[in-house]
Amino acid sequence: MWWIIGILVLVIILYFIAAQRNFVKTKENIDNAFSQIKVNQQSRFDALTELAKATKSYSEYEYEALMGVIEKRQGLNSIDNLETNEGVLRQATGMINALAERYPDLKASNLYTETMQSLNKYENNVRTARMVFNDSVTIYNRMVKQFPSSLVASVLGYGPETYLEMDESKMDMPDLEYK
């Protein structure tokens, strides 16, 4: 009889250890995905800074305004700041696009073209990293909420993580009419 209880206790301990290891692995995946978002977002800011420098010869005032917007970016250490940075990036990108419309020579320059291409690449990287982040959060949250791993989660203090939400301004279909 004692050996049955001993085996049962051993199975519970082994399950507890395996579940804890899965929580750590999944939490690390979330942290890694968030880090990828931050790295790509920083690369986008760097590309915008290069675009701003390219505009300097066209308009000093607009260069200063653009650099002011770019410098508004916050630290990249939380989901809230991540969303704030997305807003700053959208504002700065809009200013660059408006400036390029006013100065066709800027639009034709190699530096502008190459930097816009890299900006688009980083934008796609951020989009992909956000999807990976939310996928990782889904896996982790399931572990936190499903029985029996929910018991391990509550004992070790693991709680659900927050998803990155879609920006409300991107919910409407963009106007694709060529002007």
- The residue among 73, 92, 93 whose CA lies nearest residue 83 is 73
Q: Say which amino acid occupies 66.
A: L
Mean pLDDT of the region 145-150: 92
In angstroms, the CA 52 to CA 42 distance is 15
Per-residue pLDDT for 38 more than 60? yes
Please, what are the domains in the chain? 13-163 (1.20.1440)
Lowest mean pLDDT among 25-34, 84-93, 101-110, 111-120: 101-110
Q: Kindly state the tokens that stand for 23.
A: 């929580």
In angstroms, the CA 179 to CA 171 distance is 22
Taking only the tens place, the pLDDT of each residue in 49-105 is 887 777 777 667 677 777 777 776 655 566 667 777 777 777 777 777 777 777 677
The percent of residues in the chain predicted with pLDDT above 90, rounded, is 35
**Which comes out higher in pLDDT, residue 55 or 145?**
145
Mean pLDDT of the region 8-13: 94
Residue with tokens 């998803």: 163
Q: Which residues lie below 8 Å from residue 119, measured CB to CB, with a gap of 6+?
A: 44, 47, 48, 51, 93
The percent of residues in the chain predicted with pLDDT above 70, rounded, is 81
